[in-house]
Amino acid sequence: MTASGIGGTTREVYDPLTTTYSFACPHGRRAQVPLSSFRQLELLPGASHPAVYRVVFGCRCGEEHPGLVSHDDLDWAPLGAAAGVSFHNLMTARESSLAAELTDLAATRIGAGEWPWSFFCLLEGRPRPMTPSALTFLAPGQGSVGIAVRCPSCSAVSVNLVTRQHVDLPFWNDARVGVVDHVFPADALRVVEEFRAELASARFDEKRLDLEG
Ligand SMILES: [Zn+2]
Ligand SMILES: [Zn+2]
């Protein structure tokens, strides 16, 4: 996989060493933000090779800005697939490809039944694997982040309350998550303000997230 050339830039968007995405900030330096700083994700109509997502992210400057992320950068770069980085392997005293190391590790864990990201689908009443592109809205709270997820399996939108690590770190799956006690129609949430209002008034049930269950 190669760096995605969106908008004429060939700059790598995702940095696997810091698990952050890099975007332009209109006020100066490029912003490096983790996935949990995203606020909204939306598949851009028309672009399919590669598919491109329009995102809104919370910038370190305090504002929210739009950005573009390719599907590869969103879902696969965090697993190392797009990492063009090499590192000095102390064990073998050779340069190793970080991408190869990370994808080997990811493949092994997925093969063993672990999934990099998961959520609780309320409509189906069970935990489901997901990828970052299934996220539609995110809203940070105190020590947690509310996420609206379009289920890759049934398309219903569920809202979960999870830790930041659950979002930012592949294979970090919270053992328990909060789940808003009603399902959202696919078009119920259109802007992030609506999502924040829903979160503020929502009731959460606690659900277990082990996918084996
Ligand atoms: Zn900014
Ligand atoms: Zn579902």
**Domains of the chain: which residue ranges?**
14-79, 117-208
Question: Which tens digits make up the pLDDT trace of 126-146?
Answer: 999 999 999 999 999 888 999
The number of C-alpha atoms within 13 Å of 155 and in the hemisphere containing its C-beta is 4
pLDDT at residue number 141: 85
Quote the ligand 1 centre to 142 CA distance (angstroms).
22
CA dist., res. 72 & res. 89, Å (int)? 26
- Look over the chain and give the mean of its residue pLDDT values, rounded to a whole number: 84
Quote the ligand 1 centre to 61 CA distance (angstroms).
4
pLDDT at residue number 194: 86
Question: Which of residues 58 and 201 earns the better pLDDT score?
Answer: 58
Quote the ligand 1 centre to 91 CA distance (angstroms).
40
Q: Which ligand is nearest to the CA of 67?
A: 1
Quote the ligand 2 centre to 100 CA distance (angstroms).
32
The fold adopted by the segment(s) 14-79 is: OB fold (Dihydrolipoamide Acetyltransferase, E2P) (2.40.50)
In this predicted structure, the answer to whether residue 21 has a pLDDT above a threshold of 80 is yes
Question: Which tens digits make up the pLDDT trace of 40-95?
Answer: 999 998 877 789 999 999 999 999 999 999 998 899 888 875 445 555 555 666 66
Quote the ligand 2 centre to 182 CA distance (angstroms).
13
CA dist., res. 125 & res. 121, Å (int)? 6
In this predicted structure, the answer to whether residue 24 has a pLDDT above a threshold of 60 is yes
Q: What is the 3-state secondary structure (H, E, C) of 124-179?
A: CCEEEEECHHHEEEEEECCCCEEEEEECCCCCCEEEEEECHHHHHCCCCCCCEEEE
